[in-house]
A and B are shown apart, each in its own frame.
Chain A
């Protein structure tokens, strides 16, 4: 079974802090994704990566950046956290572009 692990289940940060959300997958998947999930809005794609050191903007990249130095790890970075970034963040991976996504359990981030 594919395992996608997000390092933190809950995180509380202050406005202006730099925040790192870590995600690791153990199945040698090429593609990795970061989504945020908000009530009534579903899942919105922030960034994705189809190879090491490669990244593409999703639908809502503003205020975020990403890093993929190794194939198994995809990090989401909030350079200066703001209260409107309070949300559930979901990481996912897939073997090929049209393969189903495998999700982690999510990180619930609260910015105060």
Chain B
């Protein structure tokens, strides 16, 4: 069975500071990993994904995540955050079955 742990429920950070949102997973099979973002009053949008190949994946708005198999982690990072990055971020894992397991989410608040 798969599971996802997001250790931080809330992360406040000042504008233009770096941020890391942590995600650890457990799975007995090969996994596909995703980060989704949810802006206020909206559904979830795919931010980035790891399916295979390079362990470092990037999004179009400056976020990146690195798949670390030995540490079973897929942490999300951004070197300099903007006010518009304020949102809730969900890590998700899929392995084997036709189901996606989500973490409990991390609310990122960017402070001006």
| A residues with CB within 8 A of B | 4, 31, 33, 35, 40-45, 48, 50, 56, 58, 90, 92, 97-98, 100-106
Contact = CB atoms under 8 A, between A and B. Distances in A.
B1 to A, nearest CB: 11
Contacts of A44: 102
B74 interface: no
Nearest to A91: B43
A42 B9 contact: no
A50 B44 contact: no
A21 to B, nearest CB: 14
A99 B9 CA distance: 27
Interface in B56-93: 90
B7 interface: no
- Which of B36, B43, B100 has the most C-beta atoms of chain A within 10 angstroms of its own C-beta? B43
Nearest to A104: B43
B54 interface: no
B41 to A, nearest CB: 7
B98 A40 contact: no
B26 interface: no
Interface string B23-56: 0000000001010100001111110010100000
Given A41-B104, A42-B90, A100 B46 contact: yes
A105 B94 contact: no
Contact of B103 (A42, A90, A106): A42
A50 B90 contact: no
Contacts of B99: 45, 48, 58
A92 B98 CA distance: 13
